[in-house]
Amino acid sequence: RKQDSSGVSGIFSGVTAITKAIEATGSKVLSGGLDTLEMIGKKTMDILTEGDPGLRKKRAMFEGKTSLSEVLREAKMKAEKEAEERKAEEAEDTVNYSKLFDEHQGLVHLEALEMLCGERKTAVQQKLMEAGEEEKAELNALLEKIKKTCESLPAADDTPDDELE
């Protein structure tokens, strides 16, 4: 019986030795695998940092912010403010007829021209009444010639034919 018990103890000691060897190998593989993963992670971060040199600055910029939604809200407000400023600048830069008319007291000048026209019309009619028949015919011919000349002039808003193409 002593031989049986020494054989069984030999088997147990062999199994124990094999188990310890497997355990040691497993722990070496596991720690080696973790070391490898750590090294891969560090290399990846180094490569990412080299590829994007502003990454650290971006991180530093976002560290002070409480949340992404706050950052997005601030960016949206900033963009809206810039858009409003651009729109206001464009409105100031836009030139149109009515704005120029108001800035240069166009209404006053228009009324002055109407008054001058009325005075001249009255003066011409007075001259026609005082003129004799022969002079009246000459004046009417001259007035008709002036009228045709004025009507043949292009209006200020007419586009010349060569600009239409």
* Residue 65 vs residue 15, higher pLDDT: 15
Q: Give residue limits of the domains in the chain.
A: 1-45, 67-94, 105-153
Q: What is the C-alpha to C-alpha distance for residues 128 and 132, in angstroms, rounded to an integer?
A: 8
Q: What is the C-alpha to C-alpha distance for residues 84 and 106, in angstroms, rounded to an integer?
A: 31
Q: What is the pLDDT of residue 96?
A: 74
> Region 95-123: what's the mean pLDDT?
86
The answer on pLDDT for 90 being more than 90 is: no
Three-state DSSP string of 44-78:
HHHHHHHHCCCHHHHHHHHHCCCCHHHHHHHHHHH
Q: Is 152 in a helix, a strand, or coil?
A: helix
Q: What is the pLDDT of residue 164?
A: 47
The reported pTM is 0.36
Q: What is the pLDDT of residue 63?
A: 67
Amino acid at 23: E
Residues ≥6 apart with Cβ < 8 Å to 143: 124
Computed over every residue of the chain, the mean pLDDT equals 79
- At 2, the pLDDT band (50, 70, 90 cuts) reads very low
Any idea which of 4-13, 76-85, 95-104 has the lowest mean pLDDT? 4-13
Q: What is the dihedral of CA 60, 64, 70, 72, to 10 degrees?
A: -10
CB 71: neighbour CB atoms within 10 A? Answer: 14
The answer on pLDDT for 165 being more than 60 is: no
- Taking phi over 0 as left and psi of -120 to 50 as alpha, with beta for the rest, 105 belongs to left
Q: What is the pLDDT of residues 110-135, one digit of tens each?
A: 899 999 989 988 998 898 888 888 88
Backbone angles phi, psi at 148, to 5 degrees: -65, -40
Q: What is the pLDDT of residues 64-89, one digit of tens each?
A: 656 767 778 888 999 999 999 888 88
